[in-house]
Structure 1
Amino acid sequence: MSRFSPARYWSVVKKEIIQVKRDRPSLAIALAMPLMMLFLFGYAVNTDVSDIKTAVWDQSPSAYSRELVSQLENTRVFQVVAHAGSYSEIEAMLDDGSASVALVIPPDYVRKRDRGEMAEVQMLIDGSDPNIARTASSNAQLIVQNNAITIQEERMQKQGLGPMEPAVELDTRVLFNPNMESIVFNIPGLIGLIMQNVTMILTAFSLVREKERGTMEQLIVTPIRPLELLLGKITPYVFIGFFSFCLVLLLGTAWFGVPVKGSAALLVSLSVLFLVTTLTLGIFISTVARTQLQAMQIAFAFILPSVLLSGFMFPRETMPVVIQWLGGIVPLTYFLEILRGIFLKGVGLEALWKDMIGMVVFFLLMISVAILRFRKKIE
């Protein structure tokens, strides 16, 4: 047996370096992905809930009501983003996600405060995200209790000792997910995540397999146009993906007991749109990758950021604005809003049309870029 040869060893090292230089996509992933993950985890992974979007319906405008709202905002847990004038406005804001919490101050709030009677305020909470709901409920209770103690102390100073009765009471109602069960929140998100990963990886290999088998040249010399070829490759996977979606939907509702409160027809329609969008993303990946290994690497490089940025694991409201913008280019972000809106809130297209448009724009962008790249390779 020959001894270890530094010369042969160095020859292998040089050969591997040349190979890595030629495989630029893998090199870019190897260098950029650790940095990207570091930044994403550093900013996006945050279990502390803050700046919960809050709507206020103040039916008794006064210094007392403004003081209560200020106490909520000073905690930095709540952020007043809108002022409502009716329950219908509050319902609309909770449905479309523009507010997660609504504080309702009744018309007799000031009168009861002045008379020393119990003044009741109401807080409506979107319980589709249990973490946000628990944080909002517990913090609101503490604020109101502290407010009540302060009022009682002022009365005792002015009138002397008296019975310690609560001055303010909070009536909390958690909507959409009254028991604040995490599984009710997680199952719709898992359905979206599974469908994205399966369909994207399936189509990411489609064109790459043609390249590796040498049949791409045969397709290029045929009269088939790039758009026809790309859509033709997507179509079979739409049916496969739809079948998979039906399976996970059935399992999520029957086994885990998560009901669909909204329209099943709307859920199916928007799910097909999402499938087409993710399949197009897979086709785009296949136009970038040269081998199936590269396609797999690029697909997984997209999957992890989409989990973090879409709101699947962590509330997007706690992320910096730039990270939220990055989440806007991930189709899973829009589909999760649709799934949770239909599953938990039972809302219709009037509350989900923005998310639908987001997926349509992403689909048109991906199919256009994929066609341009495919034409460039043909030329």
Structure 2
Amino acid sequence: MPAAPSPSPSSPAHTTSRWAALRAHCANIFRLGIKELWSLWRDPMMLVLIVYTTTLAVYSAGKAQPETLSHVPIAIVDEDVSALSQRIATAFFAPQFVGPDLITPQDVDPGLDAGRYTLVLHIPPNFQRDVLAGKVPRVQLNMDATRMMQAFSSNGAVQQIVQSEVAEFVQRYRAVSAPAIDLVVRARFNPALTPSWFGSVMELINIVTMLSIILTGAALIREREHGTVEHLLVMPVTPAEIMLAKVWAMALVVLVATWVSLTVVIRWAIGVPIEGSVPLFLLGTVLHLFATTSMGIYMATLARSMPQFGLLMVLTMMPLEMLSGGVTPRESMPQWVQYVMALAPTTHFTELSQAILYRGAGLSVVWSSLVWLLAIGVALFALALARFRKTIARMA
């Protein structure tokens, strides 16, 4: 009896079977993703990590204000004891400075060694007399450079305060002569130069990358340590379905945590104004999560245990955060570093996030970053899938 002819690719029966197979794949991915969410729900340490990083860590980064000159402890050695030296001493007031304390020259080194002072201003004898005589007396500023941000930020501020007070004292009035040019500074996107606007948003961008890699990598390593990967091998699921389930489940968790942190912590608690479209930022976050979750799975196939995975995280996160343009502008980096980091998803996610959240950019501005994130995500997913298939084949 002749065999029944197989349906042609364009026949209704073949089309129906393809749709049935697609629905089966989607159902497997959905159910496996739900399993990943339940596994995460039963892991209290991961839940604490998610809550802490998206709330307290973001809030602390916004309120730390490392670039701001705030509450700098200062002391003054006044060997002149004149009207000018006292005028200078009273120019250092809160909240920029704490003090100043009047000390003797013998107290300078002990005070700096003990960490009581970040700055010590030494005014020499006959300071006022030399200034009025047209001489150029030297004033010494001692700094504790171990407090790097405070010392470097206050260096220029102290020089400006001393020069301003000396000029006013000599002229007996504020300088009113018209300068050759009138330079008007306009700080766009952050008129008051508030550091919390920058610190909190950049911390959230870094946390999105860190959480997505940790959650997906830990999920795979946890299954391997508990032996549940062997259970998946006997089920009618493919490696691609297993990977896609981990990607969408962990990406959904990070996406929700990102939205909550952006709305509750950054907007409400810190008071950072968000200029651009939040849905557009979340779209970019989804593409970024597709790339970083794939990276987390790839790293988990290289590591044999969670401690090894943690070491890989350190080696990976440091360059991703420091060279993505969030800490230092990419234009200030060597040309070869810019070329290499153009292949990293964090570079384009940082550029996209700053453009949307700071400058209110639309799709016409950030579309290239979205395309880059999609292309990098596809490449990382293909690389991770190939590695994941080899790992499963060795375990089978």
1:265 corresponds to which of 276, 279, 298: 279
Q: Which has the larger radius of gyration?
A: 2
2:266 corresponds to which of 236, 243, 252: 252
1:202 counterpart = 2:215 = yes
2:196 corresponds to which of 171, 183, 187: 183
Alignment-derived partner of residue 384 in structure 2: 370
1:284 corresponds to which of 284, 298, 301: 298
1:357 counterpart = 2:380 = no
Instruction: Report the Cα offset of residue 325 of structure 1.
Output: 2.1
1:236 counterpart = 2:253 = no
1:326 corresponds to which of 333, 336, 340: 340
Equivalence map 1:114-153=2 (5 Å)? none
Instruction: Report the Cα offset of residue 213 of structure 1.
Output: 1.9
Instruction: Report the Cα offset of residue 166 of structure 1.
Output: 4.5
Alignment-derived partner of residue 228 in structure 2: 215
Deviations 1:144-198 (A, max 9, x none): xxxxxxxxxxxxxxxxxxxx86544334322212222222222221111111111
1:313 corresponds to which of 327, 339, 342: 327
Indicate the larger mover: 203-212 or 189-198: 203-212
Equivalence map 1:148-159=2 (5 Å)? none
Aligned partner letter, 1:230: M
Deviations 1:83-118 (A, max 9, x none): xxxxxxxxxxxxxxxxxxxxxxxxxxxxxxxxxxxx
> What TM-score comes out, normalization by structure 1 length?
0.54
Whether the aligned pair in 1 keeps the contact of 2:205 and 2:350 (CA below 8 Å) is yes
1:175 is paired with a residue of what secondary structure?
A: coil
1:169 counterpart = 2:182 = yes
Instruction: Report the Cα offset of residue 269 of structure 1.
Output: 1.8
Tell me, in whole angstroms, the C-alpha distance in 2 between the residues paired with 1:221 and 1:294: 28
Alignment-derived partner of residue 304 in structure 1: 318
Tell me, in whole angstroms, the C-alpha distance in 1 between the residues paired with 2:226 and 2:383: 24
The gaps in structure 1 that reach 5 residues or longer are 1-46, 48-137, 139-163
Query: How many residue pairs get matched?
Result: 220
The 3 A distance-change label for structure 1 pair 185 and 220 is: same
Whether the aligned pair in 2 keeps the contact of 1:204 and 1:296 (CA below 8 Å) is no
Whether the aligned pair in 2 keeps the contact of 1:185 and 1:340 (CA below 8 Å) is no
Tell me, in whole angstroms, the C-alpha distance in 1 between the residues paired with 2:255 and 2:181: 52
Whether the aligned pair in 2 keeps the contact of 1:238 and 1:276 (CA below 8 Å) is yes
Tell me, in whole angstroms, the C-alpha distance in 2 between the residues paired with 1:378 and 1:272: 27
Tell me, in whole angstroms, the C-alpha distance in 2 between the residues paired with 1:216 and 1:249: 36
Alignment-derived partner of residue 308 in structure 2: 294
Whether the aligned pair in 1 keeps the contact of 2:274 and 2:357 (CA below 8 Å) is yes
Indicate the larger mover: 327-336 or 365-374: 327-336
Instruction: Report the Cα offset of residue 378 of structure 1.
Output: 3.5
Tell me, in whole angstroms, the C-alpha distance in 2 between the residues paired with 1:364 and 1:172: 44
Whether the aligned pair in 1 keeps the contact of 2:212 and 2:296 (CA below 8 Å) is yes
Please report the RMSD computed on the Cα atoms of aligned residues, expressed in angstroms: 2.4
2:187 is paired with a residue of what secondary structure?
A: strand
2:183 is paired with a residue of what secondary structure?
A: strand
Whether the aligned pair in 1 keeps the contact of 2:220 and 2:297 (CA below 8 Å) is yes
Whether the aligned pair in 2 keeps the contact of 1:277 and 1:331 (CA below 8 Å) is yes
Instruction: Report the Cα offset of residue 373 of structure 1.
Output: 0.9
Aligned partner letter, 2:215: L
Equivalence map 1:31-42=2 (5 Å)? none
Whether the aligned pair in 1 keeps the contact of 2:298 and 2:388 (CA below 8 Å) is no
1:174 is paired with a residue of what secondary structure?
A: coil
Tell me, in whole angstroms, the C-alpha distance in 2 between the residues paired with 1:316 and 1:181: 22
2:356 corresponds to which of 342, 345, 353: 342
Tell me, in whole angstroms, the C-alpha distance in 2 between the residues paired with 1:189 and 1:355: 17
Instruction: Report the Cα offset of residue 370 of structure 1.
Output: 0.9
Tell me, in whole angstroms, the C-alpha distance in 1 between the residues paired with 2:194 and 2:225: 48
- Identity of matched residues, %: 31
Aligned partner letter, 2:194: E
Indicate the larger mover: 337-346 or 264-273: 264-273
The gaps in structure 2 that reach 5 residues or longer are 1-66, 68-155, 157-176
